[in-house]
Amino acid sequence: MKQSVYIESTVISYLAGKPSRDLIVAAHQQLTRDWWDIALPKFDVFISQFVINEISEGDPEASKARLKATSLFSILQMNAEIADLANRYFKAIHIPDKARTDAYHLAMATWHGVDYMVSWNCKHIASARVRSIVDHVNADVDYATPIICTPEELMEV
């Protein structure tokens, strides 16, 4: 049985984005393409409507490429328990209102019992501080925490 992974929007944006001249962004783009080709086939892959909403925004051609890249992935469903968990994360992590969706990504992966969550959002999702907070919140409500990481950290499975 394959392990599962929830792919957050930033990973898809790096995959489908125009090559960047910024060295760090370009490295993330290449790592994402490598991860997509090498590691991703080893997983059952999930996204959510939150991901679809985010990757649908912006330039129509770029949006089309992002949506095409995710067209075969399973979509996790939302419910009231996920909303409650997302609100707990939102309050505990102190995410700004404009980034509230990041708490929903975390809650979707957690509530659905996904093994891994990948993101390049190292401010509100894939950071040691956030991982620790999510672990504490999940311990209080008796949920297992997915392994939250970047594609680079999940290259070898």
pLDDT in tens, 103-140: 999 999 999 999 999 999 999 999 999 999 999 999 99
How many domains, the chain?
A: 1
Give the amino acid at 114.
Answer: V
Element (DSSP H or E) covering residue 46:
strand 43-48
Per the structure, the complete domain to which residue 136 belongs is given by 3-154
DSSP helix/strand/coil, 145? coil
Indicate which CATH number applies to the domain containing 94. 3.40.50.1010
Query: What one-character DSSP code corresponds to residue 76?
Result: E
Query: Which pLDDT value is given to residue 2?
Result: 92
Query: Which pLDDT value is given to residue 156?
Result: 79
Q: Flag whether pLDDT at 157 surpasses 80.
A: no
Mean pLDDT of 73-96: 96
Phi, psi (5° rounding) for residue 121?
Answer: -85, 90
Query: Which pLDDT value is given to residue 21?
Result: 94
